[in-house]
Amino acid sequence: MAVILPKQTGTEEGKLLFRKSEIITGVSEGIKIVKNLKDTLDYYGGVGLAAPQIGISRKVFIVNIVSSGKRSELPDIGFKAYINPEILDASSETNTDFEGCLSVFYSTLYGQVGRPSSLKIKYMDIEGKKRTEDIYHPFHARVILHENDHLDGKVFLQRMKAEDFPNLHWEENLDIRKKY
C-alpha cells in the first residue's frame, strides 16, 4: 500500500500545489498514480484527491462519492478516476457550500466556495478509454471542480470571495495527521 501524507500548502513540498500539472502520456503511468491516490484517499478519507496532493505533477484525480449514513443525500458515484481531464462546459447556475482539503492545514480548515452546479468533462478512464460525461449533481460537480483546480495549481482558498474569509471554519478534530 502506498499511503502518502498529502502535501501541505505553506511548506516546501507544497509548492507543487501551485503549479500546473503535466499531461499523462501512458495509461500505465495513470494507473500507477491512481492506485497511489486510491490508497491515500482510502486511508485518510475524503471524497477526492489529485496527483499534486501526493507530490506528482500529473493531470489525474480520483473521486469516491458514496451515498450512505449521514451522506444519504449524495449521489452514489462510487470510485472513479479522471486522467487528463478537461472541463468542456460549466453551468452559469452556481451554488455555494463549504469546502475543505486534505492539503490545507491537514483538512482542518473549511470555507465557502461558489461553484457551477453542473458541468461537462472529457477525460480518459483507467482502461485508456476516452469519455465525455455530463455531471448534473451540484456536489459531484463541486468535487470534480475542486480536484481539477489542483491540476491547474489552485486550492479552494483561491476560489473564495474576500468577504467569506471571516467565516472560515476550523475543525481541529479532523486533523488527518491523527491517522498517520
Could you state, in order of their start, the residue ranges of all structural domains in the chain? 13-179
Could you give the percent of the chain with pLDDT greater than 70?
97
From 17-21, 45-49, 141-145, 176-180, the region with the lowest mean pLDDT: 176-180
Residue 85 has pLDDT above 80, yes or no: yes
What φ, ψ does residue 100 adopt, rounded to 5°?
-130, 180
**122-159 exposure pattern, b = at least 16 Cβ within 10 A, e = fewer:** ebbbbeeeeeebebeebbbbbbbbbbbbbbebebbbeb
Name the residue among 76, 118, 130 with its Cα closest to residue 94. Answer: 118
- pTM for this model (two decimals): 0.95
Residue 109 has pLDDT above 80, yes or no: yes
pLDDT grade for 74, boundaries at 50, 70 and 90: confident
pLDDT value, residue 1: 58
pLDDT grade for 180, boundaries at 50, 70 and 90: low
What φ, ψ does residue 73 adopt, rounded to 5°?
-80, -10
pLDDT value, residue 2: 83
133 to 7, 13, 118, 139: CA distances (angstroms): 29, 33, 11, 15
pLDDT value, residue 170: 95
Name the residue among 17, 37, 169 with its Cα closest to residue 107. Answer: 169
pLDDT value, residue 73: 80
The sign of the dihedral angle between the CA atoms of 99, 103, 104, 109 is: positive
* Active site positions, annotated: 147
Give the DSSP letter string of 70-128. Answer: GGTTS---EEEEEEEEEEEEE-S-EEEEEE--TTSGGGTEEEEEEEES-EEEEEE-TTS
pLDDT value, residue 75: 85
Query: What mean pLDDT is reported for the chain?
Result: 95
Domain 13-179: homologous superfamily in CATH: Peptide deformylase (3.90.45.10)
Across the range 150-166, mean pLDDT stands at: 97
pLDDT value, residue 135: 97
